[in-house]
Amino acid sequence: MPVKPLPQGAHLAHLKNQAKDLLKEHRLGNPQAAQRIREFHPKFRNATDFAIFDTRLRLSDAQLTIARERGFSSWARLKNHVEKPTLADNLSLPHHKRIEDPAFRRAVDLLDAGDVEGLRAHLNMHRDLIRQRVLFEGGNYFRNPALLEFVAENPIRHGRLPPNIVEIAKVILDAGAKHDCASLNETLGLVTSGCVPRECRVQIPLIDLLCDYGADPNSGMQPALAHGEFEAVDALIRRHARLDLPVAAALGRVDDCRRLLASSDGQERHRAFAFAAQFGHGEIVRLLLDAGEDPSRYNPPGAHSHSTPLHQAALAGHYEVVTLLVERGARLDMKDTIWQGTPEAWAEHAGKAGLAKYLRAHRCTP
């Protein structure tokens, strides 16, 4: 689920009140509260709504949820950000300008400039840089990146990549980053889900390079699917990523979905349902509804979990999927957890006037 960035001049008292409000919504059995707790409180990951509501939630639990919902690892870290901000806490700056370590910052500057020899010499002089990570909090992702992860330009910092970024990445890998499996896989996910690598025509070469150095092609699949980067998906399949039910559903492969359905687990079906609705594959949505998927359930983590399948279908203008979900009983009053919009509001925002009118008519029908 995307986090809610802290506004400028955030007050701790206001954040404490948000935690108390979450406790109240939990006591009332609000499904949106359950989704937020499930997404951001480690103790409740993959828990059902019933299990969450059946647990007595403490104020410290609600505060941890609020902190992580804002992109911070703990309430203490959030409190420190508000009361004693540092350069790294300045969320208005691009990530490379928030780096406090001068040697790491210099390495990123050389990377951005495409200075192969300068970067190689710098890494030879500062050999520990390859193992270092920088801490960024307050954002959706990219919270603890190693140097290699900056080659993806995701999140966007400049909106471009040097033409020789593949060679730059190879310098970092050969300097030792190839031994950091977590960073390899994180970088692959950033590359496969990023628009800048694709626009600069280096997405596929970077995917191949990272896989050649040992990145797991499956680690890049979910980010690519969630962002509709289907050229990257094809490249990952070529590199032997698994064709499981969520992948087949996102690609609209009906026969593969039928074949894979029986052997899939609940999490795979949930994710497949979210992708099928997002990309407008009505026959697969119907198949999963017939298999028992809940049309009103929030999407799973990594698949726009702040929203429901109906939100995503309405946003994209998939009329067939929207009508199917409504016919199968999807709730029209469900609100997303960030902007508090209904599927009807999402359709209006996207300029889908016909769909918004359809949803409004059904919302007003007893």
- How does pLDDT run across 259-298, given as a tens digit for each residue? 999 999 999 999 999 999 999 999 999 999 999 999 999 9
250 and 218 together in one domain:
no
What does the alpha-carbon distance between residue 29 and residue 14 come to, in Å, rounded to a whole number? 23
Q: What is the mean pLDDT of the chain?
A: 95
- Does residue 30 lie within any of the structural domains? yes
Residue 51 has pLDDT above 80, yes or no: yes
217, with CB counted inside 10 A (0-12, 13-18, 19+), is buried
State the average pLDDT over residues 21-45: 95
What does the alpha-carbon distance between residue 86 and residue 331 come to, in Å, rounded to a whole number? 44
Examine the fold and report which residue of 55, 85, 115 is the final residue of a domain before the chain moves on.
85
The SS3 call for residue 199 is: helix
Under DSSP, the state recorded for 230 is H
Examine the fold and report which residue of 212, 238, 264 is the final residue of a domain before the chain moves on.
238
116 and 221 together in one domain:
yes
- Does residue 6 lie within any of the structural domains? no
| Whole-prediction pTM | 0.89
Domain range for residue 263? Answer: 245-363
Taking CA 188 as the corner, what is the angle to CA 40 and CA 250, rounded to the nearest 5 degrees? 70
190 and 229 together in one domain:
yes
99 and 229 together in one domain:
yes
Around Cβ 125, how many Cβ atoms within 10 Å? Answer: 10
CATH number for the domain spanning 196: value is 1.25.40
Residue among 206, 217, 288 nearest 246 (CA): 288
What does the alpha-carbon distance between residue 278 and residue 300 come to, in Å, rounded to a whole number? 13
- Does residue 160 lie within any of the structural domains? yes
Examine the fold and report which residue of 214, 238, 262 is the final residue of a domain before the chain moves on.
238
- Does residue 188 lie within any of the structural domains? yes
Helix or strand holding residue 298 (H, E):
none
64 and 154 together in one domain:
no
What does the alpha-carbon distance between residue 68 and residue 65 come to, in Å, rounded to a whole number? 5
Instruction: Read off the pLDDT of residues 236-249 as tens digits, 9 standing for 90 and up.
Output: 999 999 999 999 99
171 and 263 together in one domain:
no
121 and 233 together in one domain:
yes
- Does residue 90 lie within any of the structural domains? no
Q: Number of folded domains in the chain?
A: 3
204 and 226 together in one domain:
yes
- Does residue 5 lie within any of the structural domains? no
201 and 292 together in one domain:
no
299 and 321 together in one domain:
yes
Is residue 165 within 8 Å of 206, Cβ to Cβ? yes
222 and 249 together in one domain:
no
The SS3 call for residue 332 is: coil
64 and 128 together in one domain:
no
Instruction: Read off the pLDDT of residues 99-138 as tens digits, 9 standing for 90 and up.
Output: 999 999 999 999 999 999 999 999 999 999 999 999 998 8
